[in-house]
Structure formats: structure tokens, C-alpha cells
Chains A and B, each alone.
Chain A
Amino acid sequence: MESIKSEQHLDELLPWFANRTLGDVERREVEAHLATCERCRGELAWLESLQRDVAEHEFAQAPGEFGLNRLLQNVRQRPRFAARHRWLAPALAASLAVVVLQGVVLVQLWTRPETIAPLGRKTLDADVLQIRFNPRATEADIRDALQAVGASLIDGPGALGIYRVQLESGVSGKPMEASLAIETLKARQGVVVQIVSESKRATAVGE
């Protein structure tokens, strides 16, 4: 019984002995068995001819450059940005919602002249920072920097290249402290050239 099971096991390994992918232990087992089994040597010869036939007939001419052009068109039509940065899509959606909300607030402010604030004063309760970015910084660098402190762009660039960003509520439910956000962004060497809290500037202007 044991020898029948053993022979069945070795018979099952023959195709992979023929294509030379067996590990050392199994290969040696099969080699040892082939030395004593004429039936298996015949089976191996048949499998090797099968392999030659498959190699000859299974090759198919692939689409080539036409297929590649089609692929690259598809790739460019559907940017992979959202797939790489899955976490960014909800964050961007939240940022967009804030921008829309600000737009609503600003429209309301326009219709109530008594509430219009002078330039340089923030109109919302959240901390606003004014940032000048390195001209060589990439969009990805700027995006990463803002995401690191939970900030979103609300205005800019102005004539001096200054952007205004607002600190948003994060996972904790509270926005990052402005002073911490400033230190974090200052550490992004090569991205942030100048940064200041608009609250302090407003205070300075108001004094």
C-alpha cells in the first residue's frame, strides 16, 4: 500500500520534473525512482514531448505598441492620485466643504455691510496662517505640508505670493494650535519660506 501511494506521489511530480521546477529533495526522489521504473521513464518522455508542443503552440502575438498606447491613454484618463492617497480624498472633500461654507458665509457678509471686516482681519473663528511657499516646492510638497497640520487653502496667492490657510478640526475634533502648526510647517525646509499667524498680524494691525 505504501509503495503504491509512493508511486502515485512520484507520478504526480513527473510534470514538474519535466519542466525542471522541482525542489532538490523531490527532484532526487524522482531521479531515484526513474532509475528503476521503465513505465515512468516512458511517461516522462511523453511529458517532455507535450512540453515541446505546448511551447510551440501556446505562444501568441501580443497587442504590442497598440496595446501599450491604449493602456497609457486609459492611465491618463483616470489619474491614480485617489488610489495612491485614499486618505486624501475624504480630506479634500472636507476641505472643499469648508471652502463652500466660506463662500456661503462671505455671500452673507456681502449682504450685511455692517459685518464686513477690514482686510487682514480674519472673519471666522479658526486660526488662519499666512504662508509664502518656496517657488521650487511642488504641488505634492505643499499638499503634504498642509495635510500635516490639518490646514486648507482659503485664499491666495496675493500680489506678494502669500497664501492664506486655515487650520481645520482634525480626528481629535480640534484644530492644531497655531503655534504648533507654525513650528511644524517651518520644519518643512524647502517648502515654507515665510509663515505667520494672521491672528497676530490682525492684532498688530488693530493696535
Chain B
Amino acid sequence: MAKILTLPKRTQDASELLAAIAGGSETSLAEFYRLYQTRIYSFIVRRVHNGADAADVLNAVMMEVWRHASAFQGRSQVLTWVLGIAHHKIIDCLRRRSPHVALEDGVEESMEDERAGAPEMMAQRQDAALMHLCIEKLSDSQRAVVHLAFFQELSYSEIAAILDCPEGTVKTRMFHAKQKLKDCLVRAGAG
């Protein structure tokens, strides 16, 4: 995991890259794309569940970086800033797809998924794959917190900045996500 997710060693390197992008450097934009695409795409696809949509969202995020690189003021890490952009583009995508489905800790969404997924879960006996299936049953906001904490390895304050919510909300969503995962694993007989 380390090599493909390697980012600029110094915050200043990434900031310098953004400054060059703000100056109109397509070369720097290409370098930025290659450095960040995997992390950002992984964040996107886990939430939109569709490769084509995820690619569209990634493109939209990078266009936003191109247009507004000068807006980055160095008050956060570059990754935090970009994932924040991605979060809003993801919300736009999900709302276009299903305007009436609640995205914030949606009970309706997760209950439907649980009923449909039970036979599928019973057939899966590998713990890791089962955990992955249970993660897929989380609400969008819970899934986002789990992904950002354990895949992107971000602090709760960085996650709060990305998801544009209070730090307490991040911790609460993680708490509920953990409970839901444990319940899911117990029902599947693996907990």
C-alpha cells in the first residue's frame, strides 16, 4: 500500500505543486494527478459504487483543482483540501442519482441493504471479505469516516474539515459505524 499511496514528502512540495498549477502549468497538474489519483479515486468509488461515475467525479475534482489552485492557502494539508473538494462532488453525484435518499446516517438506506445482502453474507466465510461487505452496509457518512480514518489515515480534525462537520460528529459517526459493523458481523456469525 505504501508505494502507490506515496505523497509528496513535504507539505511544501505539494503546496509548490499547487502554486505551479495556479500559474497555469499543465505539467504540474499532470504530476498532481498522478500523485493523488489513487487516494482520491478510492475515496470516491467507495461512496458512489460505480466506476464510471467515480471517474467522472475524479475528473470534476481535478478540474476544480485546476481552476482554484490559487485558493489553497496552506491552512490545511493539500490532501485534506482535495478530499474536501471530492466530498462535495460526491454529494452532488449522489444527489443527482437519488435526490430523495437521505445521505446522513440514513436508516432507510442501510436497512434495505441488510435485507438484500443477508444471503450474500452467509455465503462469504472469509473475515476480511465479510468485513468489507459489512462496511458496504454502512450509511454514506459512516462509510466516509471509516475510509478516511483507516485508509487515508487521517486525524479526526482533518476528517471534520473534509466532511465539513464538527469533530464531535466525526467521532459519533465512527462510534455508530463500529456498532453497526459489529452487529453485522454477529448476524453473519463471524463476530
* Chain A residues packing against B (C-beta within 8 Å): 11-13, 15-16, 18-22, 47, 49-64, 67-68, 70-72, 74-75, 80, 83-84
Assess A71 versus B63: contact at CB under 8 Å? Given A16-B155, A51-B150: yes
Given contacts A15-B149, A54-B131, A80-B66, 15 further A-B contacts (CB under 8 A): A11-B175, A15-B150, A15-B178, A16-B155, A18-B150, A21-B153, A21-B155, A53-B128, A55-B150, A58-B46, A61-B41, A62-B41, A64-B37, A67-B58, A84-B22
Q: B149 — which chain A residues lie within 8 A by C-beta?
A: 15-16, 19
Q: Are A19 and B66 in contact (CB under 8 A)?
A: no
Assess A67 versus B29: contact at CB under 8 Å? Given A15-B174, A75-B66: no
Q: B128 — which chain A residues lie within 8 A by C-beta?
A: 52-53, 56-57
Q: Are A54 and B147 in contact (CB under 8 A)?
A: yes
* Chain B residues packing against A (C-beta within 8 Å): 1, 4, 22, 24, 26, 29-30, 33-34, 37-38, 40-42, 45-46, 54-55, 58-59, 62-63, 66-68, 70, 127-129, 131-132, 135, 146-147, 149-151, 153-156, 158, 171, 174-175, 178, 181
Q: B153 — which chain A residues lie within 8 A by C-beta?
A: 19-21
User: Complex: how many Å from CA A11 to CA B146?
Assistant: 16
Q: Are B33 and A68 in contact (CB under 8 A)?
A: yes
B42 to chain A, nearest CB (A): 4
Q: Are A62 and B38 in contact (CB under 8 A)?
A: yes
Q: B146 — which chain A residues lie within 8 A by C-beta?
A: 50, 54
Interface contact tally, CB-CB below 8 A: 113
Q: A15 — which chain B residues lie within 8 A by C-beta?
A: 149-150, 174, 178
Q: Are A53 and B154 in contact (CB under 8 A)?
A: no
Q: A70 — which chain B residues lie within 8 A by C-beta?
A: 59
15 contacts between A and B (CB under 8 A): A15-B149, A21-B158, A47-B178, A50-B150, A54-B131, A54-B147, A57-B135, A58-B42, A58-B150, A59-B38, A60-B38, A63-B55, A67-B33, A68-B30, A68-B33
User: Complex: how many Å from CA A44 to CA B156?
Assistant: 17
Q: B26 — which chain A residues lie within 8 A by C-beta?
A: 72, 75
Q: Are A12 and B132 in contact (CB under 8 A)?
A: no
Closest to A71 in B: B62
Q: A61 — which chain B residues lie within 8 A by C-beta?
A: 41
B140 to chain A, nearest CB (A): 15
Closest to A11 in B: B175
User: Complex: how many Å from CA A54 to CA B132?
Assistant: 7
User: Complex: how many Å from CA A130 to CA B127?
Assistant: 79
Q: Are A50 and B151 in contact (CB under 8 A)?
A: no
User: Complex: how many Å from CA A177 to CA B129?
Assistant: 76
